[in-house]
Amino acid sequence: MRKNVFLISAAVAATFTFGASAQVKADAAIEYRHSVFEVIGWNFKPMAAMVKGEAPYDKEAFAKRAANVATMAPMALEGFAPGTEKGDKEKTQAKPAIWEKMDDFKGKMSKLAEESTKLAAISKTGTFDEIKKQFGATGAACKACHDDYKQK
């Protein structure tokens, strides 16, 4: 009996430890993916200001921002790996639908990577009109995912 109690305690302890560890990992993933989107947003805003005419268009600065976004976009997906849906719900804006429709989510993330890579390329060589058009396509790729998978 004493042995059984010990075994049960050990099993509970192991489950708890695993559970706590999974939570820690999921919370770290939440912080990570939030950070990736934060850096994307930081770079996106000055481009948006130029496109809207709220800031003077600076070709070099725009191209640098676009390159940064293209570099960051493929990094986000790793923060949504299986198990990361178990993190602290208060800390994330990710909807559970992400993990329920992972293939669709991955497709939308790929679309963002693709459009932002095009933007990075065109922002070096294109006209401002071409750049504005591709900026719109990139913003639409952000929005498509936000609409379905980000809590307001």
The smaller minimum CB distance to its own copies, of residues 54 and 129, is found at 54
CA distances from 23 to 9, 26, 41, 63 (A): 21, 5, 27, 39
CA 146 to chain centre: 10
Candidates 3-11, 34-42, 111-119, 133-141; binding stretch for its own copies (CB under 8 A): 34-42
Q: Is 14 in the site for its own copies (CB under 8 A)?
A: no
CB 98 within 8 A of CB 79: no
Q: Is 24 in the site for its own copies (CB under 8 A)?
A: no
Smallest distance, its own copies to C-beta of residue 41, A: 9
3-class DSSP assignment, residue 94: strand
State which of residues 22, 35, 102, 133 lies at the interface with its own copies (CB under 8 A). 35
